[in-house]
Amino acid sequence: MGRYLLRRLAIAIPSILGISIVLFGVLALAPGDPFSELASNPNVPPEVALALRAKFGLDDPLFVRYFHWLAAMLHGDWGFSFVSRMDVSTLILQRLPTTLLVIGSSQLLALAIALPVGVLSATRPYSVFDQVANTLAFIGFSLPTFFTGLLLILLFSITLDWLPFVYRADLGVTGWRWVWEEFRQAAMPVAVLGLFQGASWTRYVRSAVLDVIRLDYVTTARAKGLAERVVVLKHVVRNALTPVVTLVALQMPAVFGGAIVTEQIFRVPGIGSLLISSMLANDTPVIMAVTFVFACLVILFNLIADLLYGWLDPRIAYR
């Protein structure tokens, strides 16, 4: 397992380098000077702008600039936010836990929907349950997250007045009250992301289980008299999960996209809404850093998926 992890890490490094090249390329190709707005920004003294130009070495050749930029990124030296007047890394570290909390719980919700529904659909293919689930899944991933968010606000905050639609980082209460309030304000963002992901995962789980359930070893398991529950849970689902893990890992970029939208709708103070507000405020260092963090998160989740894959299918780890 240790060697497998090392090998996976070795594969992840070129991906991070590739992504950093793409990001830097976009920045370098952008017309005009990315720091030109500093000159017109009254919050930035001219000497800071000059120091930044020198630090980013805007007059060096391209590849030298790339290595400087990459070294700074990897050191956690991500620059200074002119709007929030603090280091970008501090700003992001403040916001990151909220984003991870919302994304993490929504993925758990998605899993809690997709696994049982997908397995049940596949064990009774073309039944009424399967068809209803399939249609609902189609509706689920055709509903854009921004529209679901507005619909939920309309229903639960405005019509029924049950849930708050603005996420507050500082709730001003402690103990169980805090847990309850946190749950109430996180419910809608988590539901929006979780239902969207759950809908598309349901289809993956269903087709993966359908592929496995016809195999001979499943018939053998049934023939030797195992209960149907045991056959499905221990023999089918575990083997069906391997392709699902791959597909889920491929979906991670889309999950982060959905998180940006959701954070923006519910004003969740995470890095997604930070990205949007910095774009509207022309805060380039923050924008670059947040995009880089998103890219690293995608790679990290791919790595986790690879490890899960090795755990689910021991043949892979030994290869």
Residues contributing to the site for another protein (CB under 8 A): 14-15, 18-19, 22-23, 26-27, 30-32, 34, 135, 138-139, 141-144, 146-147, 150-151, 153-154, 158, 250, 253-254, 256-257, 260-261, 264-265, 275-276, 279-280, 287-288, 290-291, 294-295, 297-299, 302
Closest by alpha carbon to 244, among 203, 304, 278, 196? 203
CA torsion angle 293 295 298 302 (round to 10): -120
Q: How far is the CB of 231 from another protein (least distance, A)?
A: 27
For residues 25 and 297, give the distance between their C-alpha atoms in angstroms, rounded to a whole number: 20
Q: How far is the CB of 18 from another protein (least distance, A)?
A: 4
Closest CB to another protein among residues 115, 252: 252
* Burial group, residue 297, by CB count within 10 angstroms (0-12, 13-18, 19+): buried
Neighbours of 215 (CB within 10 A): 13
For residues 156 and 208, give the distance between their C-alpha atoms in angstroms, rounded to a whole number: 35
For residues 4 and 114, give the distance between their C-alpha atoms in angstroms, rounded to a whole number: 29
Q: How far is the CB of 32 from another protein (least distance, A)?
A: 6
Query: Beta strand 80-81 with 86-87: parallel, antiparallel or unpaired?
Result: antiparallel
Q: How far is the CB of 166 from another protein (least distance, A)?
A: 12
Closest CB to another protein among residues 190, 289: 289
For residues 100 and 135, give the distance between their C-alpha atoms in angstroms, rounded to a whole number: 30
Closest CB to another protein among residues 123, 200: 200
Closest CB to another protein among residues 171, 247: 247
Is 190:105 a contact under the CB 8 Å cutoff?
A: yes
Q: How far is the CB of 143 from another protein (least distance, A)?
A: 6
Q: How far is the CB of 190 from another protein (least distance, A)?
A: 19
For residues 301 and 107, give the distance between their C-alpha atoms in angstroms, rounded to a whole number: 12
Closest CB to another protein among residues 18, 45: 18
Distances in Å between the Cα of 285 and the Cα atoms of 80, 93, 100, 290 are 7, 15, 22, 9
Closest CB to another protein among residues 239, 302: 302
Helices (H) and strands (E) in the chain, counts: 14, 2
Q: How far is the CB of 293 from another protein (least distance, A)?
A: 9
CA 200, chain centre distance (Å): 15
Q: How far is the CB of 90 from another protein (least distance, A)?
A: 20
Closest CB to another protein among residues 105, 251: 251
Question: What does the buried/exposed string (b/e) look like for 256-274 if buried means 16 or more CB atoms within 10 Å of the residue's CB?
Answer: bebbbbbbbbbebbbbbbb
Task: Indicate the residue type of 117.
Answer: V
Closest CB to another protein among residues 179, 279: 279
